[in-house]
Chain A
Amino acid sequence: MWDGVGDFIAMGGHGPYVWGSYGLFAALLLAEMLLLRRRRRRTRAMLVRRLRRTASAQSPGEMT
């Protein structure tokens, strides 16, 4: 169907419209995933810190 890579990228003259659509969609999905991963890691780190705090408050001698 396509006459080489250049023809594929050109999309019959509609390249900017097609790749502008697919490109931004991919970029936004990636951004959404990365933002959520960051939030998830921060939350879990916060929970771990909180757990250590309560553990040390209850039995200070056992902390390593």
Chain B
Amino acid sequence: MVFRRIPWLTFAAPRNFHVLVQVLVPWLVGGAVVLAVAGLYTSFFVAPPDYQQGNSYRILFIHVPAAWMGMFIYLLMAVYGVIHLVWRIRLADMMARSLAPTGALMTFMALWTGALWGAPTWGTYWVWDARLTSTLVLLFLYLGYMALRTAVDDRENGARAASLLALVGAINVPIIYFSVEWWHTLHQGMSVTLTSAPTMAPSMFTALLLMTGACWLYCAAIALRRAQVEVLEREAETQWVRDLIRDGDSRTWDRNATVADARGTIREEGRS
């Protein structure tokens, strides 16, 4: 019942989303900074050197969160893509679009840090094993998604094609995740799963969790902020944006917002 009381549709209306981001972002950024400081301290001053790898393993405190975020953000993009395709909620499309650059950055960093960890540990920067190759495919999916959006002139058509690509490409995420179990890979198996205790020292696991939390909050903050700018750009001609610019940022939202508000500008564009 609590689920029903939360006014989901209220925030699907762009002007309410704008207010929500104004309120949320400072908290997300503050949380990210606190967790990053604690995480970096634990990574470098609490967690001991690995008995086999020495200190190069400290790269994994950013490698693993980056890889997780790369996969998670793509799934989130696919979910927003479905919401956009099925219910035509424009904000879902703006969120998907705003997540893509950050997801691409995280995936690239997973590959980059993986290569720099692999060089001293495996003796090579790169191998074409299933985990690495499917992660490279994920990066190309992100780049393809962003290219598709800029390549198609008609915004709504481009958005629909991109939503479809996000949805179809999502099949790659479980392939990445389970690749270390399905195939013989040079990449090691899972050290952290939901069902069993992590196979690493507690201080290492703490550092990993803190850095993952920091990464997650950062991604949330930057994607929400980017979507907020996207909203302002797309809704530049609307009355609420004019009011907002004239009166300064208001912190009140319209509680009577409906699905029509969430789809609003589509109809306006249809008329023009």
Chain A interface (Cβ < 8 Å from any Cβ of B): 1-2, 8, 11-14, 17-18, 20-22, 24-25, 28-29, 32-33, 36, 39-40, 43-44, 46-48, 50-51, 54
Contacts and interface: CB of A to CB of B under 8 A. Distances in A.
Nearest 7 interchain pairs by C-beta: A14-B56, A11-B55, A21-B113, A12-B55, A17-B116, A12-B54, A21-B59
A8 B54 CA distance: 12
B105 A28 contact: yes
Main secondary structure on chain B at its contact with chain A?
A: helix
A34 B67 CA distance: 23
Given A12-B55, A51-B245, 16 more contacts: A1-B45, A18-B58, A18-B59, A21-B116, A22-B62, A24-B109, A24-B112, A25-B62, A28-B105, A32-B105, A36-B225, A36-B226, A39-B226, A40-B225, A44-B232, A51-B242
Contacts of A47: 232, 236, 241, 245
Contacts of A40: 225, 228-229
A25 B109 contact: yes
B49 interface: yes
Interface residues of B, number: 36
Interface of B: 44-45, 48-49, 54-56, 58-59, 62-63, 66, 101-102, 105, 108-109, 112-113, 116-117, 119-120, 218, 222, 225-226, 228-229, 232-233, 236, 241-242, 245-246
